[in-house]
Amino acid sequence: MMRTRQYAQQLDQEDTLQHFRTEFYTPNNTIYFDGNSLGLLSKRAEQFVTEVMNDWKNHAIDGWTLGHHPWFYLAEKLGKMSTNLVGAKPEEVIITGSTTTNLHQLTASFYHPKGAKTKILADVLNFPSDIYALKSQLAQKGYDAHTHLIQVPSADENTLKSEDIIAYMTEEIALIVLPGVLYRSGQILDMQRLTKEAHKRGILIGFDLCHSIGAIPHSLSEWDVDFAFWCTYKHLNGGPGSVGGLYVNQKHFGKTPGLAGWFSSSKEKQFDMGHNLTPANHAGAYQIGTPHVLSMAPLLGALQMFEEAGIENIRKKSLQLTAYLMDLIESELAAYSFSIANPKQDDERGGHVLLLHPEAARICRALKANGIIPDFRNPNGIRIAPVALYNTFEEVWQMVHILKTIMEKESYKNYENKRGVIA
């Protein structure tokens, strides 16, 4: 009974978040399981883009202080709307920049090599752009990344052990940057424990939340995390290239940011036009340039839905969806050489499932041809993200049975086993 379509439909009827599904546009009647790469457009996001455009139309330059959503204060407004997602105080969060720009800013602000402490600790499974930025920051300080960027290894090439990370927190480490959730396997790192261990050793620590924000709850302030940064176009559904976000613990307020700019300024002083920066006394000090207002507009609608749904409710349904997906994979696809590479424990699993298969690229192509949108990760990974706000249990059931048919008929062999330009 538990693996029938009728059971999936019953779960959907019991879902307290089901009404949010009607708020989203699904492309070409497909079943979309790639929300951990790019979330779907919602009607509310669309509505708020129109409102911001109308403010531009009706107020021109005065849109900075007038209209429905005055642009001069929009970064702070959206930051406040994000606080429950990261577990922070409103003044500790700002919506600004991009993931990599924010990492550059935070590294420039918090990486201060001194004495024996000159190295940065990361990991071998981190998203490449984070590593590019850290290497670049080391070079700016005159250090060789080969010797000064330390990367914690993985025993299985998919997950990390807290004990291994802690063992690398040596006297030479000045700064630690790790993902909250690993982009490939979906493993949740123990951010609270790692922060505590870093601080015991006098090391500052920050987290990349790109694959965790909007998928799992956080308590950054309570955990005493020094800083964090994230994108908003995955689980937060902010749209392609939507503006990123960052968190800075209030204990670091009052410092001049490493990369100062126009919007680093205190708003009361900004238009005095003085050449000596007076940094904002909150996370806004870590902004650099003028806010990208039109790319922030969708977040007004997207974050509103998160406020209404509640991250705890989203997490509960997300765990149910991924657990149901794994159960169906193990029961229906056991004969086809798939392996589940993400953690199965609830407290260690983020918002997606990682399937490994030697023919992963062509299987993804076959799924797309059958109206299922997964995500391929080189060389052999299929990421499947059933998103709580718009995916259903019946869609999970459908996807597994379509995949089973593809494997039974070997129709995946009609496609090349190589990734596209964008995987």
Asked if residue 411 belongs to a known ligand binding site, the reply is no
CA 66 – CA 177 distance, rounded (Å): 39
Residue 397, CA atoms < 13 Å, CB-side half-sphere: 15
Asked if residue 56 belongs to a known ligand binding site, the reply is no
CA 72 – CA 293 distance, rounded (Å): 9
The CA-atom distances, in angstroms, between 370 and each of 154, 207, 401, 411 are 35, 37, 11, 11
The string of DSSP codes covering 318-358 is: HHHHHHHHHHHHHHHSGGGT-EE-S--SGGGB-S-EEEE-T
CA angle 288, 294, 300 (to 5 degrees): 95
Q: Is the dihedral of CA 50, 52, 55, 56 positive or negative?
A: negative
Q: Is the dihedral of CA 58, 63, 65, 69 positive or negative?
A: positive
CA 168 – CA 178 distance, rounded (Å): 13
Asked if residue 25 belongs to a known ligand binding site, the reply is no
Asked if residue 290 belongs to a known ligand binding site, the reply is yes
Asked if residue 262 belongs to a known ligand binding site, the reply is yes
Asked if residue 99 belongs to a known ligand binding site, the reply is yes
Nearest by Cα to 46 from 308, 389, 299: 299
- Alpha carbon 385 to chain centroid distance? 13
Asked if residue 147 belongs to a known ligand binding site, the reply is no
Asked if residue 129 belongs to a known ligand binding site, the reply is yes
Asked if residue 128 belongs to a known ligand binding site, the reply is yes
Binding-site residues:
99-100, 127-130, 208, 211, 233, 262, 290
Binding-site residues for pyridoxal 5'-phosphate:
99-100, 127-130, 208, 211, 233, 262, 290
